[in-house]
């Protein structure tokens, strides 16, 4: 069943993916497993083929659409369990970067934990995160990056928060496929997490401690 989801996602069959995800849910497969072994697994195959020039941007875009439709089915389930917290977070994909699937998953998981999430979308300038955190009173700034060329801009978010005098009031969380704990330490951000579920857990911990 999970392979079937992955294969149809790779073909960009969004409606079928949505239906198969619902069937997997009805069959009692845990939502996290459907996400990781069905949807994300399929997206990883597409990523590999994209790198090898076996598929191109249009195919990747239809696969991304299928991924989003499948994830929508899982949204209420992924967020149903665990601790609920209150807190406010702003999130966006860093400047120059249009990848938003991972960012949307992080948002989904955080909302499920009770956090209020201000979604800045993609291609977000460092100053915009900081301005939003000030104006909307956010405890956390969350930055996602999928490109090795855009991830250094996350360091500019840290610098912009320092320049605006809010560095001690706001935590900066980073993530995305090329990002690592080593990179986090290098730019002076507060938290790196490898996936959406652990990002939501980390945000809850921060907000509980606020």
Count of C-beta atoms within a 10 Å radius of residue 129: 28
Nearer to ligand B1M by Cβ, of 24 and 197: the residue is 197
Q: Which residues contact 124 (CB under 8 A, 6 or more apart)?
A: 92, 93, 94, 95, 143
Nearer to ligand B1M (CB atom), residue 165 or residue 194:
194
How far apart are alpha carbons 13 and 26 in whole angstroms?
A: 20
- Rounded Cα distance between 178 and 154, Å, is 12
Select 26 or 108, whichever has its Cβ closest to ligand B1M: 108
| Residues in CB range of 7: below 8 A, 6 or more apart | 42
Q: Which is nearer to ligand B1M, 13 or 103 (CB)?
A: 103
Q: Which is nearer to ligand B1M, 26 or 186 (CB)?
A: 186
Q: Tell me if residue 13 falls in helix, strand or coil.
A: coil
Q: Which residues contact 37 (CB under 8 A, 6 or more apart)?
A: 2, 6
**Least CB distance from residue 58 to ligand B1M, whole Å?**
8
Residues that bind ligand B1M (CB under 6 A): 40, 43-44, 46-47, 50-51, 57, 60-61, 64, 96-103, 105-106, 142-144, 146-148, 173-178, 193, 195-196, 199
Sheet of 88-93: strand order equals: 116-119, 88-93, 140-144, 171-175, 191-192
CB of 10 to ligand B1M, least distance (A): 10
In the complex, minimum distance from the CB of residue 182 to ligand B1M, in angstroms, rounded to a whole number:
15
CB of 196 to ligand B1M, least distance (A): 3
Q: What is the DSSP letter of 35?
A: I
Q: Provide, rounded to whole angstroms, the least separation between the CB of residue 15 and ligand B1M.
A: 18
């Amino acid at each position: 069943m999970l392979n079937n989801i992955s294969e149809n996602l790779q073909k960009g069959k969004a409606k079928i993916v949505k239906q198969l995800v619902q069937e997997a849910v009805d069959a009692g497969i845990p939502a996290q497993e459907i996400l990781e072994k069905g949807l994300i697994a399929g997206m990883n195959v597409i990523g590999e083929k994209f790198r090898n020039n076996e598929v191109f941007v249009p195919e990747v875009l239809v696969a991304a659409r299928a991924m989003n439709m499948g994830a929508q089915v899982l949204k209420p389930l992924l967020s149903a369990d665990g601790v609920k917290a209150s807190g406010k977070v702003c999130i966006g994909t860093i400047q120059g970067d249009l990848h938003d699937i991972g960012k949307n998953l992080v948002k989904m998981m955080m909302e499920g934990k009770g956090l209020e999430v201000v979604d800045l979308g993609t291609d977000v300038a460092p100053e915009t995160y900081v301005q939003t955190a000030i104006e909307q009173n956010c405890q956390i700034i969350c930055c996602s990056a999928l490109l090795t060329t855009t991830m250094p801009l996350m360091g500019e978010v840290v610098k912009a928060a320092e320049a605006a005098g809010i560095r001690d009031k706001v935590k900066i969380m980073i993530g995305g496929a090329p990002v690592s704990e080593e990179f986090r330490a290098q730019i002076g951000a507060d938290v790196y997490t490898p996936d959406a579920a652990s990002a939501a857990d980390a945000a809850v911990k921060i907000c509980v401690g606020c």
